[in-house]
């Protein structure tokens, strides 16, 4: 759960990167200095960097759009980046994005956000898989532990830093992550992946893809991993090991010259240890440590039908259904049906218009306990929305204006309007500039409106027990953001590309925790005086910062990809607020400075060396020192279709704390040095 009053992690920020961390990052680059030239392999790095301006993305406008016309701070993690990274999960892949805060809480829990406000459930970040949302409305965030897609099946990950509400709706406040998988035609044949190591003790994927006739392709896969426990903060066993078995399929078919159909689905089963704290007695003054086993299960089914009317007009209909069950402290079963329709057409010679409708129905059933529960325990909600966006060529191939808005009706707060305006200018083929202004909103979650938490109690006057707790506010409002952004993309001498973005955000109606009126309760027994806190919208403030990423082809053998992000957040309480912790949590949940440097070097005889260094500035409340994570590995392409990899992770330090969850819902453990070996065989 997010950081709340009484459990909030207070984090102060760093004003500059330490010289020691910079030296570590620089050393990684110099270790890979090339000694001889070589022909580059056939991947994105072989293209001229001007060609990369023409890479198409879909997450900004829900339609294919060249980077040179994209007025947004977007970072694309390609399939080649994924294969070189050495990452075994999606959270570790996201570390390479400047401005993205990725911190591991324990073996199976992460805190991931864009542009601040980090926590286990970062409610200002929207995550999608092939355009379908995986944002849970219960706690307002993502269950990263079950977002388990075979990394070999990911075509790219598009990360938008900044609002995406005009297209994707509420909760796309500070960023959007869209994981786009490969078409079935691109994964024909068999794939076997097997590996293991000190932390990832065993993992593997078995996949097969083929065709059915001339117009239909499919793939099926099964995937498994088993991860060891991490050490606890006091040196004890962390009790957070886990394993997961998943499987899925994808089928793509051309029904006619104008119609294509894609059907995909996946399911997972597993369990994880989840060290936490619970209240065993209403009159207990302390929470007790427990190590329950959480059973995980879920499945997703998604259908996409695309119809082309002409070269200037096409429609897409997406229907998805997903459900999950988690037997955690609060057991929950949720079922969600989503219908999404969009129509893209060109109007005249200078306008490209996209409009659409969306409907979502979600049903949740929960079982609580003395420590935490929801009231009501069961709830059904609906969301209806529509959007329109118009890209206008003010000067074809040079100057484009994109305006649009989304109108959404949410179960909790009614209608919300999310407009935006974006401008791109491309004075030359190797250079473009952009600017944007947009509004975004974070709608309430069930946690905000209906949660009940008992922290513990103590004996009161005349022997009447007194209980301290937290209750949701059914009248909680949307959290709003108005964002201003500018940026540029430039290529220099066909060997160096630089992507830069700067932003200012004005936040209003942000969440605080305020005292509420005491009440006398007879249940649960014994009769007691309950002194609650509740949620209000009594905080506002601003953020400002910048992000930069570069790609430098030092030689045909060697590529360097540095990145840097800077952000400061200043929050203020309304005069009526009595909150004492929300400001420090909002300002300090991410570092002021972060940086990364990735190096790819190819030797003769099909041997590649990849190294990544990630610097994260210190967090200070509670105090977590800055650190530099270093991963490095060798990949040997033994012969066509067969490769062997050896990777070391977290090599700069052995036992390291990345994030502290003081809510008690998850106990933090220490991230340790690890290594693994992997074999990949395609045939």
Residues 519-536: pLDDT tens digits? 998 888 888 899 999 999
How would residue 7 be classed by pLDDT, with cut points 50, 70 and 90? very low
CA 212 to chain CA centroid, Å, is 35
Instruction: Flag whether pLDDT at 680 surpasses 90.
Output: yes
Residue % of the chain over a pLDDT of 90: 75
More confident residue, 629 or 69: 629
pLDDT tens digit sequence for 178-210:
999 999 999 999 999 999 999 999 999 999 999
In-domain check, residue 616:
yes
Torsion 502-508-509-512 (CA) sign: positive
Helix (H) or strand (E) holding 207: strand 200-211
Strand ranges across the sheet with 175-181: 73-78, 154-161, 175-181, 125-129, 132-133
How would residue 48 be classed by pLDDT, with cut points 50, 70 and 90? very low
How would residue 274 be classed by pLDDT, with cut points 50, 70 and 90? confident
Instruction: Flag whether pLDDT at 13 surpasses 50.
Output: no
How would residue 312 be classed by pLDDT, with cut points 50, 70 and 90? very high
pLDDT tens digit sequence for 469-503:
999 999 999 999 999 999 999 988 778 999 999 99
Number of domains in the chain: 1
List the CATH number of the domain containing 271.
2.40.170.20
Cis peptide before 520 (omega within 30 of 0): no
Q: Can you name the residues that pair with 438 across neighbouring β-strands?
A: 420, 483
In-domain check, residue 3:
no
Average pLDDT estimate for 557-563 = 96
What is the pairing mode between strands 528-553 and 465-471? parallel
Average pLDDT estimate for 433-449 = 96
How would residue 88 be classed by pLDDT, with cut points 50, 70 and 90? very high
Structure confidence at residue 52 (pLDDT) = 59
How would residue 40 be classed by pLDDT, with cut points 50, 70 and 90? very low
Instruction: Flag whether pLDDT at 544 surpasses 90.
Output: yes
Average pLDDT estimate for 424-450 = 94
How would residue 600 be classed by pLDDT, with cut points 50, 70 and 90? very high
pLDDT tens digit sequence for 585-599:
999 999 999 999 999
In-domain check, residue 341:
yes
Instruction: Flag whether pLDDT at 9 surpasses 50.
Output: no
Torsion 661-665-670-672 (CA) sign: negative
How would residue 31 be classed by pLDDT, with cut points 50, 70 and 90? very low
CA 483 to chain CA centroid, Å, is 20
In-domain check, residue 12:
no
In-domain check, residue 502:
yes
How would residue 673 be classed by pLDDT, with cut points 50, 70 and 90? very high
Q: What domain range includes position 81? A: 19-682
In-domain check, residue 253:
yes
Instruction: Flag whether pLDDT at 37 surpasses 60.
Output: no
In-domain check, residue 142:
yes
pLDDT tens digit sequence for 121-171:
999 999 999 999 998 999 999 999 999 999 999 999 999 999 998 999 889
Structure confidence at residue 19 (pLDDT) = 37
How would residue 675 be classed by pLDDT, with cut points 50, 70 and 90? very high
Structure confidence at residue 8 (pLDDT) = 30
Burial (CB count <10 Å: 0-12, 13-18, 19+), residue 108: buried
First vs last C-alpha separation in the chain: 44
In-domain check, residue 1:
no
Most confident of 17-21, 351-355, 656-660: 351-355
Lowest mean pLDDT among 36-50, 146-160, 304-318, 562-576: 36-50
Structure confidence at residue 51 (pLDDT) = 58
Question: Which DSSP string do the residues of 553-568 spell out, in sequence order?
Answer: E-SSSEEEEEEEEEEE
Instruction: Flag whether pLDDT at 297 surpasses 70.
Output: yes
How would residue 24 be classed by pLDDT, with cut points 50, 70 and 90? very low
Residue % of the chain over a pLDDT of 70: 92
Structure confidence at residue 371 (pLDDT) = 87
């Amino acid at each position: 759960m997010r950081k709340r009053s009484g459990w909030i992690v207070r984090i102060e920020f760093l004003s500059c990167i330490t010289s020691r961390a910079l030296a570590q990052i620089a050393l990684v680059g110099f270790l890979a200095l090339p000694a001889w030239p070589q022909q580059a392999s056939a991947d994105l790095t072989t293209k001229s960097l001007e060609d990369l301006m023409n890479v198409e993305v879909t997450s900004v406008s829900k339609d294919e759009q060249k980077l040179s016309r994209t007025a947004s701070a977007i970072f694309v993690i390609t399939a080649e980046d994924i294969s070189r990274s050495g990452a075994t999960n999606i959270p570790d892949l996201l570390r390479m994005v400047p401005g993205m805060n990725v911190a591991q809480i324990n073996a199976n829990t992460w805190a991931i956000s864009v542009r601040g406000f980090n926590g286990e459930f970062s409610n200002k970040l929207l995550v999608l898989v092939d355009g379908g949302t995986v944002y849970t409305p219960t706690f307002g965030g993502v269950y990263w532990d079950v977002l388990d897609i075979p990394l070999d099946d990911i075509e790219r990950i598009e990360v938008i830093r900044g609002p995406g509400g005009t297209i994707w709706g509420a909760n796309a406040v500070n960023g959007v992550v869209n994981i786009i998988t490969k078409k079935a035609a691109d994964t024909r044949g068999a794939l076997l992946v097997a590996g293991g190591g000190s932390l990832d003790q065993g993992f593997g994927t078995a996949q097969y893809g083929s065709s059915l006739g001339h117009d239909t392709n499919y793939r099926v896969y099964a995937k498994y991993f088993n991860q060891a426990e991490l050490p606890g903060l006091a040196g004890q066993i962390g009790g957070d090991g886990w394993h997961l078995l998943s499987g899925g399929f994808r089928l793509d078919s051309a029904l006619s010259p104008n119609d294509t159909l894609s059907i995909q689905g996946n399911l997972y089963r597993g369990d994880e240890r989840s060290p936490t704290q619970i209240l065993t007695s209403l009159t207990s003054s302390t929470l007790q440590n427990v190590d329950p086993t959480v059973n995980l299960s879920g499945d997703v089914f998604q259908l996409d039908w695309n119809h082309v009317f002409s070269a200037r007009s096409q429609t897409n209909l997406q229907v998805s259904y997903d459900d999950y069950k988690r037997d955690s402290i609060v057991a929950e079963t949720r079922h969600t049906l989503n219908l999404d329709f969009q129509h893209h057409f060109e109007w005249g010679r200078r306008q490209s218009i996209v409009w659409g409708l969306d409907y979502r129905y979600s049903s949740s059933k929960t079982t609580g306990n003395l420590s935490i529960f929801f009231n009501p325990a069961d709830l059904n909600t609906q969301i209806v929305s529509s959007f329109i966006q118009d890209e206008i060529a003010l000067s074809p191939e040079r100057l484009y204006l994109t305006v649009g808005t989304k109108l959404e009706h949410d179960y909790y707060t009614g209608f919300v309007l999310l407009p935006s305006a974006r401008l791109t200018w491309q004075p030359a083929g190797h250079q473009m500039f952009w600017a944007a202004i947009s509004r975004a909103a974070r709608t309430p979650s069930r946690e905000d409106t209906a949660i009940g938490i008992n922290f513990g109690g103590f004996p009161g006057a005349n022997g009447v027990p007194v209980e301290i707790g937290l209750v949701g506010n059914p009248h909680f409002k949307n959290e709003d953001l108005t964002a201003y952004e500018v940026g540029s993309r430039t290529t220099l001498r066909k060997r160096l590309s630089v992507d830069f973005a700067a932003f200012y955000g004005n936040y209003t109606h942000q969440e605080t925790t305020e005292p509420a009126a005491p009440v006398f309760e007879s249940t649960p027994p014994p009769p007691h005086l309950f002194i609650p806190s509740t949620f209000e919208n009594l905080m506002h403030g601003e953020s400002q910062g910048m992000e930069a990423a570069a790609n430098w082809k030092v030689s045909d053998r060697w590529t360097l990809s540095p990145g840097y992000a800077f952000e400061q957040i200043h929050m203020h309480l309304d005069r009526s607020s009595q909150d004492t912790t929300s400001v420090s949590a909002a300002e300090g949940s991410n570092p002021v400075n972060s940086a990364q440097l990735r190096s790819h070097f190819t030797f003769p005889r099909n041997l590649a060396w990849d190294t990544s260094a990630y610097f994260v500035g210190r967090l200070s409340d509670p105090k977590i020192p800055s650190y530099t994570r270093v991963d490095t590995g060798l990949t040997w392409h033994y012969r066509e279709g067969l490769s062997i990899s050896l990777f070391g992770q977290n090599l700069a330090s052995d036992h390291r704390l990345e994030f502290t969850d003081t809510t008690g819902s998850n106990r933090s453990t220490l991230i340790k040095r690890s290594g693994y070996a992997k074999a990949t065989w395609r045939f």
